[in-house]
């Protein structure tokens, strides 16, 4: 089932991220996807509210959604995972997807997906596809 979820992720580039530290916070972020690690790579400055939360508590949740008013076309994912500074490979993936970002010299972060639930009404109303990371991975 991860293939259907990854195909959807590959068709989009913007996620909504929810964090909690001293208070709840959320933001939107451009992402590159790493299929080898099943992770999103995102850019963010450590001084932001959401990154202040991450530095206190790396557990996150978020969404990627198709914007549509047609009920039969609704698709989207909800996810949870852990966020940490990206390794070198993440920089290559992110700058390939967003080459103009290189000039800003951003700090990149990896969101390791631990659980994903996809709603896909193209398969039938309210149809869900789920995936959970095996913690031996």
On the 0-12 / 13-18 / 19+ scale of CB atoms within 10 A, 21 is middle
Any idea which of 7-16, 19-28, 36-45, 69-78 has the lowest mean pLDDT? Answer: 69-78
Residue range 2-132, CATH number:
2.30.110.10
| More confidently predicted of 110 and 105 | 110
Residue ranges of domains in the chain: 2-132
* pLDDT of res. 74: 82
- Of residues 114 and 121, the one with the higher pLDDT is 114
**pLDDT at residue 66 tops 90:** no
pLDDT of residue 137: 53
pTM over 0.85: yes
CA torsion sign for 26, 110, 136, 75 is positive
Q: Please give the span between the terminal C-alpha atoms of the chain, in angstroms, as a whole number.
A: 17
């Amino acid at each position: 089932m991860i293939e259907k979820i990854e195909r959807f992720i590959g068709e989009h580039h913007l996620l909504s991220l929810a964090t909690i530290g001293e208070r709840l916070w959320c933001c939107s972020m451009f992402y590159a996807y790493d299929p080898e690690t099943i992770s999103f790579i995102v850019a963010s400055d450590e001084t932001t509210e959401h990154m202040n939360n991450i530095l206190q508590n790396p557990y996150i949740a978020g969404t990627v959604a198709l914007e549509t008013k047609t009920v039969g076309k609704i698709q989207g994912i909800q996810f949870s995972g852990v966020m940490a500074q990206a390794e070198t490979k993440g920089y290559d993936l992110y700058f390939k997807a967003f080459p103009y970002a290189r000039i800003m010299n951003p700090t990149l972060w990896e969101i390791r997906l631990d659980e994903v639930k996809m709603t896909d009404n193209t398969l039938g109303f309210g149809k869900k596809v789920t995936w959970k990371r095996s913690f031996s991975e």
